[in-house]
Structure 1
């Protein structure tokens, strides 16, 4: 059978996405320790039009978004495909119903939730399959929202950190500028959800994080691109970041505030 170039390229992209998205389990405990939670104001905005309190945290990881959803009073069920991440989630949130499953095969009945939220996960979903699944489990008028914790690259030293780090450590959707561009048409154009969902909206909410140089390096080491990088290249990249942080007055000594935002993309089920 003859395979066209576009088909082969598409398969390579799918394979790369699968490799990256499945890398987090190898660093589940570090992910739980170092990744930030989400701004409560961002979660409340995401849920503003939800018809009820039932929320699915889809691709829940170690429960970072679950933590914030519980804090704002949502009735949460979490679904996560990676066993190591799911174990961390259950350890951290033993009272939350946490199920194995994926965005492409959600283990919930039809119209069983009022909102589906995904924290730093929506871009990993195969939305050609996940879109109908999400629509299936959402009640009429329900909300789909993706949330991302992003660095504020309007701050000079953060923009320079992005340049020094490279795309494996700070990639698409990891800074305000790249996040706005990457998610602008994600739901309607890229995933062709226009028949099931209304137009999408973007918003950003302040959400700083106290860090040290060591803890910021540990956080960046949990990025998917870093996790799949050969060890010598990974150490070189982390060393370059360490040298940069040591050279900047904002980050050289003790704790500092990492300027961040929680970006939200939301749409409503028709």
Structure 2
């Protein structure tokens, strides 16, 4: 998800930040419980636009998206670099192979759809789309998607200030507290460009799904530790940030509504291989 905007595609080459990319399993159970699922309409649209039920989930994490695709009748194989996240997903019935997508061996297997839910920014952009083309069947669908959300300014500003204070060396500390949706849309447009460069897909499409979710103070403080900017902080650093954000949510009456936009870049593998 970006569950916070700092997890969207960045000018910083996040795919090179392997320690951060593989840090989310520090509390896999919290991650699975706190992060929101993906819009049912998105899942249905991917399934309907794929030639069959075999799905490869790149960076499957704990299996949030994978379970949704399983519920829609798909057979899902996950690829996940963090063994702790993979183990959590496996314990809940998902087949997962532990590897980065770049290093993963398909062993001749092919798929009807390849999805990447909140994870493509951890994949080398020069290699990801080309490898996706190699493992998709003709007319198979590539679907890269993730959540965009900006907390209310009354929550975002105290969070950004606390992060700058306790972790000034974090690559996210220099980011603004809030950014416009167009910033994220530009990131997904770059993904479309990398897909076009392979010359193995039809013209990419951009999908958008708007929705909202209400968070209590405790619910939001459960989400924050699962985000890339915070997973590797020391406990005292994290506690200071959560305290600042908790006070901010309290000042709003203990609850706020988050307006989400789930963006997707998707394209169909051409029939000529």
Q: Which residue of 1 aligns with 2:110?
A: 112
Structure 1 residues 91 and 144, CA gap change in structure 2 (3 angstroms): same
**Partner Cα distance (1:65, 1:171) in 2:** 29
Please, what is the CA RMSD of the aligned residues?
2.8
**Partner Cα distance (2:98, 2:82) in 1:** 8
> Residue 247 of structure 2: which of 223, 243, 252 is its match?
243
Structure 1 residues 179 and 15, CA gap change in structure 2 (3 angstroms): closer
**Partner Cα distance (1:47, 1:265) in 2:** 15
Structure 1: 5+ residue runs without aligned partners?
1-11
Q: Which residue of 2 aligns with 1:158?
A: 152
- The residue correspondences of 1:45-56 to structure 2 (distance < 5 A) are 45-56=45-56
User: Could you tell me whether the CA contact under 8 Å between 2:188 and 2:263 is conserved in 1?
Assistant: no
**Partner Cα distance (1:220, 1:50) in 2:** 34
Structure 2: 5+ residue runs without aligned partners?
1-11, 161-171
**Partner Cα distance (1:102, 1:21) in 2:** 10
**Partner Cα distance (1:112, 1:142) in 2:** 9
User: Could you tell me whether the CA contact under 8 Å between 1:40 and 1:72 is conserved in 2?
Assistant: no
Cα drift, residue 118 of structure 1: 0.7
**Partner Cα distance (2:31, 2:186) in 1:** 26
User: Could you tell me whether the CA contact under 8 Å between 1:111 and 1:140 is conserved in 2?
Assistant: no
The count of corresponding residues between Structure 1 and Structure 2 is: 247
Once the two structures are superposed, residues 19-57 of structure 1 have per-residue CA deviations (whole angstroms, 9 ceiling, x without a partner) of: 221111212222112111111111222344212121111
Matching of residue 258 in structure 1 with residue 249 in structure 2: no
- The residue correspondences of 1:73-222 to structure 2 (distance < 5 A) are 73-92=73-92, 94=93, 96-110=94-108, 112-151=110-149, 153=150, 158-166=152-160, 167=172, 176-189=181-194, 193-222=197-226
Cα drift, residue 171 of structure 1: 8.4
**Partner Cα distance (1:77, 1:110) in 2:** 14
Q: Which residue of 1 aligns with 2:31?
A: 31
**Partner Cα distance (2:51, 2:23) in 1:** 35
Structure 1 residues 171 and 145, CA gap change in structure 2 (3 angstroms): farther
Normalised TM-score (structure 1): 0.80
Structure 1 residues 14 and 196, CA gap change in structure 2 (3 angstroms): same
